[in-house]
A and B are shown apart, each in its own frame.
Chain A
Amino acid sequence: MKTKSRRRKNGVLTIRYVLIFLWLIFTLIPLYTAFVASLTRYENLGKTFLFPVDFEWHNYIDIFTRIPYGSYFKATLLYAVGTSLVSVVFAAFAAYGLSRFRFRGKMFYTGFIFITQLLPQVVIVVPVFMLLKSMGLYDSYLGVVIAVTATSMAFPILLLRSFFDGLPVALEEAASIDGCSRLGILVRIVVPLAAPGMATAFALSFFTGWGQYLYPLVLTRSADKTPLTVGISRMIDNQTPWEMVMTGTLLSIIPAVVIYLFVQKFLVKGLTVGGVK
């Protein structure tokens, strides 16, 4: 009797592992295939299957001369850092205002923030394009950062707000009696206490900026403003050098994965504390 139930339990466990492995294969297949292709010579593409036939590590050096990879990388980094800096600073202010004050129009403002999350970028990309043109910000890093920040602002605000809500007000009252200004309180007390939340918001905005495609595509023109997403996918046409596309793709994903592995614990925790509420 006992062995029977144990055997059944083992069977269930085996099925569980099999299903998890199947899901992981689905998850990792594009990355693995990209890796195999990135080690292949162009003329051997398609001959590789599960294992690489060449070990052409040189692809990882050639990519810098085949396309202006360094310049794409620089633009991507600027968009990512710009977006995350602006988002986090603006969001910290807004979240503090929402968390510590009651004011007329608060409901409306909160509602508006929610709605911005629903707004597809493609809906407003044309008027934004015309707006930036008239402001002289077309084909500039700043223009893209402003546009990206506005559409991705909601999440950091709501995230930081719920972090701030969880902080004790007593400390701030004490600081205020000691003559600390509101701004001082925010910068010296609230932000340091909400460090995990700030880090989560920063990381999320960084990923957002890193992966932008439509805005840089439409709002910039010159080569030095082209990010990796646009530059690499532009190589895909009839005569695609797939080994280069895959090399470039992997090189571009790695920084995000590395950052993610570092902040993973924070991120999952921050999301579950703040995001899903």
Chain B
Amino acid sequence: MNLKFTQRLEPYLFILPTVALFLLVLAWPLLNLVIFSFGDSNIIQGYTGWNNFENYKFLGTPAFLKTVLVTLIWLFGGVIGIVACGMAVSLLLNKPIRGRAFFRALTIIPWIVPHAFAASMWSWVLHPQFGMLNQLLVGLGILDKPIGFLSENTALITVIVVRIWQGAPFMIISLLAALQTIPEDIEEAADLDGANGFQKFRFITIPYLKPVLTVSTLIIAAWTLQIFDTVYIMTNGGPARATQIIALEIYTKAFVESNLGIASAIALVTLITVGILSLYSLKKEGSEAS
């Protein structure tokens, strides 16, 4: 009897440390967010009083809707760019060419560069006066004079390109691994049947890659939404809020404007949206797989 009880308890002992950690550092803060979002709140005192959904009303203002738009462009631009580049580079590296292992090792490097350092290095490459990119483009005669890559009209595209630089390596590794599971005889058979390169890509490569591609794309999307440091260091959301993504908006509201209520409301709504969307896509993926 006693033994049986211990046996039933055993699995819980193994997951106990992580459960405790999750409850303390994730669940408890999330619960607090719900409370903060329904009233006037600040980071010193927390919740100070009911304010009649004032925080949630902010989510309908033009300023916030622009933030949502910027975030969507950031998200889709980043993810589409990463998938496209990841696919292209992994296909390029999938043939037994000379130096492949070396190329692959170099390709992965951006993945291990911390975001903050990627931001500082790219800020220097793109520097309006002294940056190497401007000098290169002017030197080659492509530009007449240096341009500001982080000015109001260009900043969002620029940070998306930096995001692609950071995110593509993960995609390349995942897809390269998946590409290697494609049996050679299938491609040989297709060759014999006279299939051209595009047909092979469409009817052999894509179906084989699909499961890995879907999962990796979801992971990349989640990571892209989580990013704070790259954009914070490169542009701090500016100029004129051109790169103010939701992650920065939450930070600004909480720490700069000291409005924890609005920050919490944004955080919660974002979280719920992301949760529903990813459940939906996982379910869709699951039903397609079976």
Interface residues of A (CB under 8 A from B): 13, 16-17, 19-20, 23-24, 26-31, 33-34, 36-37, 45-46, 49-50, 89-91, 93-94, 96-98, 100-103, 106, 109, 112-113, 115-131, 146-147, 149-151, 153, 157, 182, 207, 210-214, 218, 229-230, 232-233, 236, 242, 245-246, 249, 252-253, 256-257, 260-261, 264, 268, 271-272, 275-277
B252 CB → nearest A CB, Å: 10
Report chain A residues within 8 Å CB of B130: 45-46, 242
- B70 interfacial contact with A, CB 8 Å: no
Asked whether A207 and B112 contact (CB < 8 A) given A30-B125, A232-B120, the answer is: yes
Q: Specify the chain B residue showing the minimal Cβ separation from A207.
A: B112
| Complex A-B: 7 CB contacts under 8 Å | A27-B106, A50-B136, A100-B11, A123-B33, A126-B33, A127-B30, A130-B43
B135 / chain A contacts, CB cutoff of 8 Å: 46, 49
Tally of A-B Cβ pairs under 8 angstroms:
255
Tell me what chain A mostly uses at the interface: helix, strand, loop, or mixed. Answer: helix
Within 94-148 of B, Cβ neighbours of A (below 8 Å) are at 95, 97, 103, 105-110, 112-125, 127, 129-130, 132, 135-136, 139
Whether B156 sits at the interface, judged by CB under 8 Å, is: no
Query: How far is it, in angstroms, between the C-alpha of A214 and the C-alpha of B33 when the chains are bound?
Result: 18
Question: Whole-angstrom distance between the alpha carbons of A17 and B95 in the complex?
Answer: 11
Check B25 against A260 for contact (C-beta < 8 Å): no
B-side interface residues, number (CB < 8 Å): 89
B165 at the interface (CB under 8 A from A): yes
Query: CA A211 – CA B166 in complex, angstroms?
Result: 13
Chain B residues with Cβ below 8 Å from A90 are: 17-18, 21
Question: Which chain A residues lie closer than 8 Å to B33 at the CB level?
Answer: 123-124, 126-127
Which parts of B5-39 form the interface with A (CB within 8 Å)? Answer: 8, 10-19, 21-22, 24-26, 28-30, 32-33, 36
- Identify the interface centre among A94, A182, A212, A230: most chain B CB within 10 Å of its CB: A94
| Pair A245/B18 contact, Cβ less than 8 Å | no
- List of B residues within 8 angstroms of A24 by Cβ: 103, 106-107
Residues of B within 8 A of A146 (CB): 21, 24-25
Contact partner, B11, options A19, A31, A97, Cβ 8 Å: A97
Are A30 and B121 in touch, CB under 8 angstroms?
A: yes
Q: Which residues of B sit under 8 angstroms from A272, Cβ to Cβ?
A: 173-174, 177
> Within the complex, what minimum Cβ distance (angstroms) separates A76 from chain B?
9
Contacts of B124 in A (CB 8 A): 30, 33-34, 37, 242, 245-246
Residues of A within 8 A of B271 (CB): 118-120, 123
Pick from B22, B36, B117, B222: contact of A112, CB below 8 A.
B22
CB pair A94–B14 under 8 Å, yes or no, is: yes
User: From residue B36, how far is it (CB to closest CB) to chain A in Å?
Assistant: 7
- B29-72 residues with Cβ-Cβ distance < 8 A to A are 29-30, 32-33, 36, 43, 46
Given A121-B226, A264-B105, A101 and B43 touching (CB < 8 A)? Answer: no
Contact B122 A30 (CB under 8 A): yes
